[in-house]
Amino acid sequence: MRHRKKRYFSRGVLTVLAAVLALMFVMPTLLTITNSFMTQSEITANYGQVFQNAANGTSYIKDTINLKFIPDKVSFSQYFTVLLKSPDFLYKFWNSVILVVPIVLAQLLVASIAAYGFTRWRGKVRDSIFFFYVILMLMPYQVTLVPNYLVSDWLGILDTRWAIILPGAFAPFSVFLLTKFMRRIPASLIEAAKLDGAGEWRIFWNICLPQCRSALYSIAILVFIDYWNMVEQPLILLPSADMQPLSVYLSTINAGEIGIAFAAAVVYMIPGLLLFLHGEAYLVEGIAYSGSVKG
């Protein structure tokens, strides 16, 4: 009985600690959503001192900042301004879509074919190539930013969408994750298909891809979120402001448009949030299975 009470107490403490950490993690998002429904005057009264000091280059704030989660008066004026009165916002939004969607589709295509090759092809050469893929995956993008710039300049695609799409289409992370997942497919299943006369293309399309649905979902979600939030790549490879995505545009909203910044941030979060909620189960399953299989 004593050990049972001790176990219940430990679980209770861990539950409370997890709840506090979860609340701290979610609080900035909730604050952004609720503040987006405030009027500009209320937002300025609550947080104006923060942005004023930031604009002046000072860090000391002598006045107390009022963090409010419930607006005094619900207002949709910020969303009206962002969606209907700000053509730049919608233009940058579609820039993000045009950049990110081809990258996600191309990565799924390239990763599927490459992962199938790594799964079916045996030998030391395959292991060496896959090892280099892992090394490339561990390297941060900032390390390859200068080579990407030089190659894009040499190919003549600098300051075009191809400078972002082509490096993104061949990113190694999706190949690694899908290869680890595809290797869990029983070899007996593939051998049975070969005995029935199925060729490599039919095995790939009718057996391997359906078995990897959860991995494909998880890759699509992770790649979408990663490139939806990219900042360094477009700043370096897309010098023209007209070509840059929404993630770069949000940083240009000045201190006099605090309410618009809140509303724009909420709209910016919606695509990634909807995609995550739609494929949450596939995301967890894909990462769990791929991480539990040895290559």
Taking only the tens place, the pLDDT of each residue in 66-107 is 666 777 788 888 888 888 887 888 888 899 999 999 999 999
Q: Which of 89, 243, 268 is nearest to 164 (CA)?
A: 243
| End-to-end C-alpha distance for the chain, whole angstroms | 46
What is the chain's Cα-based Rg?
24
Reading phi first (left if > 0) and then psi (alpha if -120 to 50, else beta), residue 197 is in left
How does residue 60 score in pLDDT terms, banded at 50, 70 and 90? very low
Q: Which of 46-50, 173-177, 248-252 has the highest mean pLDDT?
A: 173-177
Going by C-alpha positions, the residue among 100, 93, 98 that lies closest to residue 263 is 93
Longest dimension (CA), the chain: 78
Number of helices followed by number of strands (H, E) in the chain: 16, 0
Length, in residues, of the chain: 295
- pTM score above 0.85: no
